[in-house]
Structure 1
Amino acid sequence: MTMTDSTAAEKARPAGPAEEEPLGATRAERLSALAQQHGALVTLVIAVIVASLSFDTFLTGDNLENMALSSAFLAVVALGMTFVIVTGGIDLSVGSLFALGGVLAAWGSQYGTVVALLLPLAVCGLIGLVNGLLIARSRLAPFIVTLAAMLGARGLLLAITDEGSTTYLVDKSTFFATLGQGKLLGIGVPVWITLALFVAGAVVLRRTRFGQYVYAVGGNEDAAALMGAPVARTKIGVYTVSGLCAGLAGALNAAWLVSGVTILGSGMELEAISAVVIGGTLLTGGFGFISGSLVGVLLLKVIQNVINQIGSLDSAYQQVVSGAFLAVVVIAQTWLGRRRRVL
């Protein structure tokens, strides 16, 4: 291997959360790494403590259950988005795919639970696959491709529902409805499904060859290609995963609401991106971890819940606070990244 190839291989080496610091790493380097990886978790703990001391109703069972359920659907979408962003990409179509998946699941529920689950997975997964093919094979910008998919999915949704005038309902007596409204050990079934998906996602990203390729492509695409990584297949894979996650989240949401609501999903792509970035995944790619995205989702939901608890603030402040918080996180990530390189 030449010196150039050796350098390229080093740049393509995954920079995941489990990567150990060099033996000679300084204390400042280790602190910067810990802050970048676990800052969101520390912030979440502080926010929960402050909220519980400020509002008597924050730690009640009903409030925690509502937060957990509302977090579950966004978390599934953020799971798929994590894979995309680690490769250095972006997926703006997930909000529309979430809504489309819900409508398709509600319509398909009349033919049984299998159809209600497989139909949104097939359609949304196919749209994600097309996104990946256009981005990887045609070398089109992810922003443009997924923006077009967002508009196309929303148009398909409107066509299926007669411009939104038709709402498909789910029979509450079906097993499909149980997936959304049922409980296991006092916790909603969607929460258990979400936790299982995150465990599986963490294993795939950290313990499989595909996960290593995801980090390598995000770290340095050209160097990853020199190492023999299947760059195109990896990109196609992550966008397909993102589409599948969005479709599944929409199906679970339809089971919870026992209807396919057409107006849902607007702006959800931005929430998912915010949660992933707040959780420590770099927008530039090559660094990130699944658990951080879950923490990011929970932190956003806690902030929204606190604003609702205050009562005197308009709901629009949720977006203001979330946007400001995201800006602070991105600035902090950039500063920490530069500090680690300097040190």
Structure 2
Amino acid sequence: MLSTVRTPSRLLARVSQFGVLAALILLIVFGALRYTGFLSEYNFSTFLRYNSMFGLISLGMCFVIVTGGIDLSVGSVVALGSVVAALLSPHGALLALLGAVASGALVGLLNGLIITRLNIQPFITTLATLLGARGMALLLANNQGGVGVDANNTVFAWLGQGNLFGTQWLPVPGVLMVLAFIVGGVVLRSTSFGRHALAIGGGEDASKLMGLNVARVKLGVYVLSGALAGLAGLILAAQLGAGQPTEGLGWELSAIASVVVGGTLLTGGTGSVWSSLVGAMLLGLIFNILNFENGKGIISLSPYWQSVIRGAFLLLVVVLQSRLSSRAAGEQP
């Protein structure tokens, strides 16, 4: 029975992974041929700076979904992390960094404890903390639209706006994202924590029978998701020069879409860190191309259309994933 379930899941994951990579490459070629400046240093740097935040929360979401869970709170945690980072920026970039990551990790810890100790479904738990984290961000910001960062803290600003070695081909947020994915890839595939997360998603009851500490692993993935969302909040504050308590609305949808389009099943048990990164970049590239089209004057889409496109994109991917999974399972003897 185990092999019957896993085989179509792996096949579906492979199809999705190669498909999303091919789509990303085709979009890059299309953009390069159609738009002047698409492959410019400026567009590359701007693209990576902004989408690094979506990449980071997608990485955390990948670990959560691999276990069969979901984290709807990441968008609000990004907002909370940005406010905490801004408030701590007068005390140094390091303290702001630690504060943002710690605030996210605490929300993740709360999620994990409620899910594992109280046996509340992840959807309900993280929906509640979504509201709670957003409210806390607004409280810390005194209900203001933004919290200014210390203008004299150049290191803090460098984390969001700086470049390594003085070249825009290496924006700091993009480098931080890639480093996080390198570590995440090693953890998921080469450590007991990652292998146990995959096993739990494949069958939680079977994992318990094998002696795995299911509660500890699930707690760990939610803490990781929260910490990465907090780091994304730091980057947000550093880029905009202010903590943003109202930012991050709908970002959890982008993270889920990125992970699912990369081949990670919503039911858990299979997934790829790098495919999640490709999924995040693909979704970001779609909006980048739409911005270029706006510039040509051929179409005119307001920013609110991004939410519509994200929702439609996620729905399409889930439907295709469901159809392919059912077909693959039906072909099994």
Q: Same fold (TM over 0.5)?
A: yes
1:322 maps onto 2:302 in alignment: no
Residue 335 of structure 1 corresponds to which residue in structure 2? Answer: 323
Flag the 1:203–1:226 CA change in 2: closer, same or farther, 3 A.
Answer: same
Structure 2 residue matching 1:286: 3-state secondary structure: coil
Distance 1:193 1:44 in 2: 21
Residue 140 of structure 1 corresponds to which residue in structure 2? Answer: 120
Write the deviation string for residues 181-236 of structure 1: whole angstroms up to 9, x where unpaired.
Answer: 21114211111111000000000000000001100111111111111111111111
Distance 2:247 2:130 in 1: 13
Distance 1:140 1:225 in 2: 18
Cα contact 1:12–1:217 (8 A) shared by 2: no
1:121 maps onto 2:121 in alignment: no
Of the three residues 273, 277, 280, the one matched with 2:256 is: 273
Of the three residues 205, 209, 225, the one matched with 2:192 is: 209
Distance 1:221 1:14 in 2: 18
Distance 2:93 2:292 in 1: 37
Flag the 1:111–1:11 CA change in 2: closer, same or farther, 3 A.
Answer: farther
1:307 maps onto 2:290 in alignment: yes
- 1:121 Cα shift? 1.7
Structure 2 residue matching 1:164: 3-state secondary structure: coil
1:284 maps onto 2:272 in alignment: no
Percent of counterpart pairs with the same letter? 44
Residue 21 of structure 1 corresponds to which residue in structure 2? Answer: none
Residue 132 of structure 2 corresponds to which residue in structure 1? Answer: 152
Flag the 1:85–1:174 CA change in 2: closer, same or farther, 3 A.
Answer: same
Distance 1:137 1:156 in 2: 24
Distance 2:191 2:227 in 1: 19
Flag the 1:80–1:16 CA change in 2: closer, same or farther, 3 A.
Answer: farther
Distance 2:6 2:313 in 1: 30
1:297 maps onto 2:280 in alignment: yes
1:241 maps onto 2:224 in alignment: yes
Flag the 1:165–1:255 CA change in 2: closer, same or farther, 3 A.
Answer: closer
RMSD (Å) for aligned C-alpha atoms: 2.1
Distance 2:135 2:229 in 1: 17
Q: How do 1:93-104 and structure 2 match up within 5 A?
A: 93-104=73-84
1:199 maps onto 2:182 in alignment: yes
- One-letter amino acid of the counterpart of residue 86, structure 2: A
Flag the 1:127–1:325 CA change in 2: closer, same or farther, 3 A.
Answer: closer
Structure 1 residue matching 2:148: 3-state secondary structure: coil
- 1:314 Cα shift? 1.3
Flag the 1:164–1:227 CA change in 2: closer, same or farther, 3 A.
Answer: same
- 1:33 Cα shift? 5.5
Flag the 1:289–1:208 CA change in 2: closer, same or farther, 3 A.
Answer: same
Residue 48 of structure 1 corresponds to which residue in structure 2? Answer: 28
Cα contact 1:96–1:266 (8 A) shared by 2: yes
- 1:80 Cα shift? 0.5
Write the deviation string for residues 63-120 of structure 1: whole angstroms up to 9, x where unpaired.
Answer: 1211111110110111101100111111111001001101100110111122101112
Cα contact 2:9–2:325 (8 A) shared by 1: no
1:86 maps onto 2:57 in alignment: no
- 1:331 Cα shift? 2.2
Q: Which runs of 5+ in 2 are unaligned?
A: none
- One-letter amino acid of the counterpart of residue 109, structure 2: L
- One-letter amino acid of the counterpart of residue 147, structure 1: L
1:183 maps onto 2:155 in alignment: no
Cα contact 1:132–1:236 (8 A) shared by 2: yes
- 1:34 Cα shift? 3.3
- 1:15 Cα shift? 9.7
Distance 1:91 1:177 in 2: 29
How many residue pairs align between the two structures?
323
- 1:12 Cα shift? 9.8
Cα contact 1:98–1:250 (8 A) shared by 2: yes
Cα contact 1:14–1:212 (8 A) shared by 2: no
- One-letter amino acid of the counterpart of residue 331, structure 1: V
Cα contact 1:307–1:318 (8 A) shared by 2: no
Residue 225 of structure 1 corresponds to which residue in structure 2? Answer: 208
Residue 24 of structure 1 corresponds to which residue in structure 2? Answer: none
- 1:328 Cα shift? 2.4
Of the three residues 148, 155, 164, the one matched with 1:168 is: 148
Flag the 1:14–1:239 CA change in 2: closer, same or farther, 3 A.
Answer: farther
Structure 2 residue matching 1:49: 3-state secondary structure: helix
- One-letter amino acid of the counterpart of residue 68, structure 2: G
